Amino acid sequence: MTSALLLLSGGQDSTTCLAWSMERFEKIYTLSFDYGQRHRVELEQAKKIADLARVPNEIFSLNLFDQLSKNALTHQDIDIAAGDEKTLPSTFVPGRNQVFLTIACMKAYQKGISHIVGGMCQTDYSGYPDCHEDFIKSIEKTSSLAMNRDFTIHTPLMNLGKAGSVKLMQKLGKLDWLAESHTCYAGERPACGKCPACELRLKGFEEAGLTDPLEYQKTPSFR
Amino acid sequence: MTSALLLLSGGQDSTTCLAWSMERFEKIYTLSFDYGQRHRVELEQAKKIADLARVPNEIFSLNLFDQLSKNALTHQDIDIAAGDEKTLPSTFVPGRNQVFLTIACMKAYQKGISHIVGGMCQTDYSGYPDCHEDFIKSIEKTSSLAMNRDFTIHTPLMNLGKAGSVKLMQKLGKLDWLAESHTCYAGERPACGKCPACELRLKGFEEAGLTDPLEYQKTPSFR
């Protein structure tokens, strides 16, 4: 029986990856990180989404970004680390996906799993080097060497834009799951519909010609 | 000015790497991990050793091995993860060096540092894949890709045995620093001189034809 471990943030991309994984793997474990993200509502939504798929969800608590970002605030690289305050969580630090994927592989190792699935996408986040395919291939090799196991890291959204991702979810017949996925940077449910994250999400649905099942505070202009 | 970030566990190998780094880098930061290791005395010794070298030492707190090893206890891979109870810390998990080096690179990134130094050695720990040179080269590349910076990970002890490492320390004129390095698995100071770690250390000094400056509970038979 082929099993996979999925990184489930509770956002649109990882929710889509869960639906994708359901068609490919017989047993799926989902792993979510509680790392001091701005909106813990993501973790509640991740749990709900895992319940929809009837797969286990584990929350892994990580204290390290606090220690890294506190220091970043006093340092020369603050411009890079802080990025665009409107679009990145305050705890964003370069290398975050390296931590997430390292722990995912360690967890998978313990569970006897070789397949990891993540929602990384180099189309939308081209500014983040740790979303790029060459990084994913490299950490796949690094983790395999570190633990002496052949890991495969699947990133089905790698070259899809938001619209392509929405279309994939429709094709998988799980568009309704996205009603539970959390995107809004304002942390609001119903979603604000105005923040850059909501805008990007709605634009994806618009381009795909589909309706977002997520509840918004008011009907977005282009729905 | 060339700076380096050194992983300083407080053990013999990382202490030797500190002396090695002093000859190569103008500015050195040392990073120690508080990860629930059996003997916190290591951290106190790391601080003393950093003081000897007059370089800063930062203790980074990591809660993740607890979460990984607790789960390991209930799982099929427990034999591998627990290893030999006499010679590995109870919190040992495959992939540990991947976590340490990932965080070291993230920390270095924030400090504008490109050089990382670690005491990994494939001679003594051939059973640990995350001490091997191919793993080190791979994570060097992975971290460089993740953070878009050219990191170099130096492992001066990679192909040295314990005796070679002792001789290197003598050549560097810092053999006395090893009086502060902690090795004993029993966590004792003066060291027990009988546990497998003390035995390995003493054997290295014996083969190098040098005297260990560390205080032992009784004079070991072959000193």
Residues A29-64 have pLDDT tens digits of 999 999 888 788 999 999 999 999 999 999 999 988
Candidate from A111, A130, A143 with C-beta closest to B98: A143
Burial of B125 (0-12, 13-18, 19+ CB in 10 A): middle
Residue A93, classed as helix, strand or coil, is coil
Q: What is the pLDDT of residue A7?
A: 98
> Closest Cα to residue A123, out of A110, A138, A133?
A133
Q: For residues A106 and A123, what is the distance between their CA atoms, to the nearest angstrom?
A: 28
Give the distance from residue B26's alpha carbon to the nearest chain A alpha carbon, in angstroms. 19
> Closest Cα to residue B68, out of B30, B106, B24, B99?
B99
Q: For residues A208 and B147, what is the distance between their CA atoms, to the nearest angstrom?
A: 32
Contact A106 B97 (CB under 8 A): no
Q: What is the pLDDT of residue B91?
A: 44
pLDDT at B14 over 80: yes
Domain spans in chain A, listed from the N-terminal domain onward: 3-175
Q: What is the pLDDT of residue A59?
A: 96
**Residue A144 · residue A150 · CB < 8 Å:** yes
A187: tokens are 């942390």
In the DSSP assignment, the letter for residue A191 is B
> Closest Cα to residue B80, out of A101, A105, A147, A99?
A147
B93 touches chain A (CB under 8 A): yes
Q: What is the pLDDT of residue A223?
A: 47
> Closest Cα to residue A128, out of A96, A91, A161?
A96
Under CATH, which number does the domain A3-175 receive? 3.40.50.620
The CA–CA distances, whole Å, from A189 to A40, A193, A199, A220 equal 12, 10, 15, 14
Percentage of residues in chain B having pLDDT higher than 90 = 72
Residue type, A206: E
- Give B130's contacts in chain A (Cβ within 8 Å): 145-147
Q: For residues A173 and A14, what is the distance between their CA atoms, to the nearest angstrom?
A: 16
Tell which B residues from 15 to 34 touch A, by Cβ distance under 8 Å. Answer: none
pLDDT at B189 over 60: yes
Least-confidence region, from A167-181, B50-64, B116-130? B116-130
Contact A102 B95 (CB under 8 A): yes
Q: What is the pLDDT of residue B39?
A: 83
**Residue A113 · residue B77 · CB < 8 Å:** no
Q: For residues A38 and A65, what is the distance between their CA atoms, to the nearest angstrom?
A: 12
The matching CATH number, chosen from 3.40.50.620, 3.20.20.80, 3.20.20.450, 3.40.50.12280, for B3-177 is 3.40.50.620
Residue A61, classed as helix, strand or coil, is strand
Give the distance from residue A85's alpha carbon to the nearest chain B alpha carbon, in angstroms. 18
> Closest Cα to residue B75, out of A194, A112, A190, A174?
A112
Mean pLDDT for B43-52 is: 97
Contact B102 A102 (CB under 8 A): yes
The residue assigned the tokens 């990007």 is A200
Contact A93 B106 (CB under 8 A): yes
